C-alpha cells in the first residue's frame, strides 16, 4: 500500500474525529494492537475470494437474509479477523465457506466463494467433502462439545486423514502424535488412547486445533476459538495460532467479537453488520482510524485500562431485523450521524487506501458538512 496515501487518509480522519465532540476517540494504543508477528502474510497470493455472497434461511416466520452481499479476499499466511455483534452473519459466513450450511432451510442465493480459483458454491456434496478438512478446516467455539465423547482422541484425530489420504493406521498415528506435540499436549502417545472427558477445556481446544491441522489445510476458519476458554488459556491458544501460522503458512479467518483477540493476532479486520461487511482494512487502519460510525462505536465499547474514569460507551439500539432488512444503511437507525440519504440508499464502498474500505455515506464529498456541525 502507498504509505503516503495512508498517512494522508489517517491525517484526514484524525482531523475529522477531533471535530466531532460526541464521539470518543476509538483508538487503541500501540501496545494493545500488538507487536510484529513471527510471520509475514504473502499478499501476492490470494487464497480465498468471497464475492457478493447472499445467504438466506427459510423459517416459519419468513426468510432471514443472513448474508446480504459479503465480499472479502484472503491472502496466503494472513489472519483476517471478522468482527461484529451477535447475529451479524459472522458465523454464517464461516459455515457457508465451509459448506456446513444446512440446505434447506439455508440457501446460497448468489455470489461466489473462490478458493484457489474453484467456486465452492458450485460443488456438490461429494466434491465439497474433498475440500472439507483437507483444504479448509474449521475450529469450533466450544471445545467441551466439539469432540465426540464416545470416541478416543486418536480416532478423532486420524479419521480425517484416513478418509482423505491413503495412509496406513501407523502413519496416521505418527502424524497425530507429531501434531499433538506441536499443539502442546504432553505424552501424546498415551493421550491418543484417551477420551475427551479426560482432558481440560484448554487441552481439548488444542486437540480441536490439531484435528483441524491434520490434513495440512491452506485455510483455517476459527469460529470464536477462545470465547469458551478462560483468559489465561485464551492467550496460550492465540499464541499457538501465531506459531502454527509461522510454521505452516496457513491463512486464518478468525471470527470473534473479542477485539482484544483481534488486536493480538489479526493482520486485517472485517467489520460486519447486518449481513454486510461495512468496513474492512489493515488492523492499524481499523483500530487507529475507524471510519464507519459502527466500528467507532464498537471500539468505544471496549474497556480500556489506560483511560481512567471513562465510562464505556455502548451503542444504543439493536441491530435490524433481517427478515426485512432496511433498504438503506442498516446502521442508520442507531447512527448518531444518520442523514436522510442513509435511510434510503445503501452507501457505496469508499476505498480510503488499497486495503481500507468502508461503506458509509459520511465518506461522500457532499456529506463533509456533517462533521462541521
Partner 1 sequence: MAIYIVKRFFMMIATILIIATLTFFLMHSIPGSPFDEERTSNPTIQANLEKYYKLDQPTHIQYLYYLKAIVTFDFGPSIKKPNESVNTQLARGFPISAELGIVSILVAVLSGITLGTFAALRHNGIIDYGAMTFAVIGISVPNFVLATLLIQQFAVNLQWLPPATWSSPKHMILPTLALATGPTAIIARLTRSSMLEVLTQDYMKMARAKGLSPFRIVFRHALRNALMPIVTIMGTMLAGILTGTFVIERIFAIPGMGKYFVESINNRDYPVIMGSTVFYSAFLVFMLFLVDIVYGFLDPRIKLHRKEGDA
Q: Where are the alpha helices (DSSP H) in 193-230?
A: 201-213
Q: Nearer Cβ to partner 1, position 130 or 247?
A: 130
Residue 137 Cβ vs partner 1, minimum distance, rounded to whole Å: 7
Residue 127 Cβ vs partner 1, minimum distance, rounded to whole Å: 10
Of positions 123, 128, 167, 367, contacts partner 1 by CB under 8 A: 128
Distance, CA of 313 to CA of 330 (rounded, Å): 20
Q: What cell does 40 get?
A: 509475514
Q: Is 129 in the site for partner 1 (CB under 8 A)?
A: yes
Of 110-118, 157-165, 184-192, 356-364, the window that binds partner 1 (rule: CB under 8 A) is 157-165
Strands 79-83 and 268-273: parallel
Q: Nearer Cβ to partner 1, position 129 or 334?
A: 129
Q: Residues touching partner 1: how many (CB under 8 A)? A: 30
Q: Is 48 in the site for partner 1 (CB under 8 A)?
A: no
- Give the helix/strand (H/E) hosting 195: none
Cβ neighbors of 317 (< 8 A, separation 6 or more) are: 333, 334
Of positions 130, 174, 247, 344, contacts partner 1 by CB under 8 A: 130
**Region 63-102 residues binding partner 1, contact defined as CB under 8 A:** 98, 100
Residue 236 Cβ vs partner 1, minimum distance, rounded to whole Å: 21
Of positions 133, 202, 275, 347, contacts partner 1 by CB under 8 A: 133
Q: Is 183 in the site for partner 1 (CB under 8 A)?
A: no
CB–CB of 134/191 below 8 Å?
Answer: no
Q: Is 211 in the site for partner 1 (CB under 8 A)?
A: yes
Cα 92 off chain centre by: 11
CA distances from 35 to 196, 247, 262 (A): 35, 18, 13
Q: Is 208 in the site for partner 1 (CB under 8 A)?
A: yes
Of positions 8, 40, 103, 145, contacts partner 1 by CB under 8 A: 145
Helix (H, G, I), strand (E, B) or coil at 280: strand
Q: What cell does 119 get?
A: 467456486
Which DSSP string do the residues of 4-60 spell out, in sequence order? HHHHHHHHHHHHHHHH-TTS------HHHH----SS--EEEEEEEEEEEEEEEEEET
Q: Is 150 in the site for partner 1 (CB under 8 A)?
A: yes
Q: Nearer Cβ to partner 1, position 14 or 107?
A: 107
Q: Nearer Cβ to partner 1, position 161 or 322?
A: 161
CA distances from 53 to 102, 123, 150, 298 (A): 16, 15, 37, 24
Instruction: Give the single-character DSSP code of 193.
Output: T
Q: Is 164 in the site for partner 1 (CB under 8 A)?
A: yes
Q: Is 49 in the site for partner 1 (CB under 8 A)?
A: no
Residue 212 Cβ vs partner 1, minimum distance, rounded to whole Å: 8
Q: Is 103 in the site for partner 1 (CB under 8 A)?
A: no
Distance, CA of 319 to CA of 322 (rounded, Å): 9
Distance, CA of 241 to CA of 247 (rounded, Å): 10
Residue 100 Cβ vs partner 1, minimum distance, rounded to whole Å: 6
Cβ neighbors of 218 (< 8 A, separation 6 or more) are: 47, 76, 116, 135, 136, 250, 251
Q: Which residues bind partner 1 (CB under 8 A)?
A: 98, 100, 128-134, 137-138, 140-142, 145-152, 159-160, 163-164, 195, 197, 208, 211
Amino acid at each position: 500500500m502507498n504509505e503516503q496515501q495512508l498517512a494522508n487518509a489517517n491525517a484526514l480522519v484524525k482531523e475529522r474525529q477531533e471535530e466531532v465532540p460526541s464521539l470518543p476517540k476509538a483508538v487503541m494504543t500501540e501496545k494493545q494492537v500488538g507487536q510484529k508477528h513471527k510471520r509475514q502474510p504473502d499478499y501476492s497470493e490470494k487464497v480465498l475470494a468471497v464475492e457478493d455472497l447472499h445467504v438466506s434461511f427459510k423459517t416459519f416466520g419468513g426468510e432471514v437474509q443472513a448474508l446480504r452481499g459479503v465480499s472479502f479476499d484472503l491472502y496466503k499466511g494472513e489472519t483476517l479477523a471478522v468482527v461484529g455483534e451477535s447475529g451479524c452473519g459472522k458465523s454464517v459466513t464461516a459455515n457457508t465457506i465451509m459448506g456446513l450450511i444446512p440446505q434447506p432451510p439455508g440457501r446460497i442465493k448468489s455470489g461466489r466463494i473462490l478458493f484457489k480459483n474453484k467456486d465452492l458454491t458450485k460443488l456438490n456434496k461429494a466434491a465439497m467433502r474433498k475440500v472439507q478438512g483437507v483444504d479448509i478446516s474449521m475450529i469450533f467455539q466450544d471445545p467441551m462439545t466439539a469432540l465426540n465423547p464416545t470416541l478416543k482422541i486418536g480416532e478423532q484425530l486420524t479419521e480425517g486423514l484416513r478418509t482423505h489420504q491413503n495412509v496406513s493406521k501407523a502413519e496416521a498415528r505418527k502424524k497425530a502424535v507429531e501434531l499433538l506435540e506441536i499443539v502442546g499436549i504432553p505424552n501424546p502417545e498415551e493421550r491418543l488412547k484417551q477420551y475427551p472427558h479426560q482432558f481440560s477445556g484448554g487441552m481439548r481446544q488444542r486437540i480441536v486445533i490439531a484435528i483441524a491441522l491434520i490434513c495440512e489445510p491452506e485455510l483455517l476458519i476459527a469460529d470464536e476459538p477462545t470465547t469458551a476458554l478462560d483468559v489465561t488459556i485464551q492467550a496460550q491458544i492465540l499464541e499457538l495460532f501465531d506459531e502454527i501460522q509461522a510454521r505452516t503458512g496457513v491463512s486464518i479467518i478468525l471470527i470473534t467479537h473479542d477485539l482484544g483477540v483481534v488486536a493480538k493476532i489479526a493482520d486485517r479486520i472485517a467489520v460486519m453488520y447486518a449481513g454486510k461487511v461495512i468496513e474492512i482494512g489493515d488492523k492499524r487502519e481499523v483500530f487507529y482510524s475507524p471510519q464507519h460510525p459502527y466500528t467507532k462505536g464498537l471500539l468505544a465499547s471496549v474497556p480500556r485500562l489506560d483511560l481512567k474514569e471513562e465510562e464505556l460507551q455502548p451503542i444504543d439500539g439493536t441491530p435490524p431485523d433481517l427478515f426485512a432488512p432496511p433498504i438503506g444503511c442498516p446502521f442508520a437507525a442507531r447512527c448518531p450521524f444518520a442523514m436522510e440519504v442513509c435511510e434510503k440508499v445503501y452507501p457505496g464502498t469508499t476505498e480510503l487506501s488499497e486495503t481500507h474500505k468502508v461503506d458509509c455515506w459520511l465518506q461522500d464529498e457532499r456529506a463533509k458538512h456533517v462533521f462541521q456541525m
